[in-house]
Amino acid sequence: MTPKAKNAKVPVSGKQVVWVVDAEQWPRACLRAELMERGFEVIGFEDAGQALSAMRHRLYEKPVAVVIELRRLSPRSDEKEALTLLDALKILLGGAAELNETWVKEGDWALVMRRPFTIGNVAEAVEDLGKTVDRRRGL
């Protein structure tokens, strides 16, 4: 994890930064490892509140994307609100039940992935999104 350099537009490491929000340690760790193998700098969080706090306090580089697993998302409305406030492209991962919730359907998400999917599928989606961002920046 690399601390945020103030007002940096490119990560200190030169890699695109992705944040992963998942309450379960092993799925979060596996996705982080896969994304790191593909050249991303990856920061993991147990919940959206932690990610929002890190973003507000500029603890890490601003992510190009935040991958959010809805499986164990707290039913608390403050965590759902934190997700909507994250200032990055958001990729939601979930099953039919989670993805059918009204707040999910009405949200502003870059991508919504419904199970079944593999870690590889998620990593490919992040790569595609990262390439889109690079093209927009002219990189």
pLDDT band per the 50, 70, 90 thresholds, residue 70: very high
Show the domain range for 77.
17-134
Any domain includes 71: yes
Residue 64 lies in a domain: yes
pLDDT digits over 85-137, tens only? 888 899 999 999 999 998 889 988 999 999 999 999 999 999 999 888 877 77
106 in any annotated domain: yes
pTM for this predicted structure: 0.85
CATH of the domain at 49: 3.40.50.2300
Task: Classify residue 139: in a domain, yes or no.
Answer: no
Query: What's residue 58's pLDDT?
Result: 93
Buried b (16+ CB within 10 A) or exposed e, 31-59: bbebbeebebbbbbbebbbbbbebbeeee
In a domain, 35, yes or no: yes
**Structural domain count, the chain:** 1
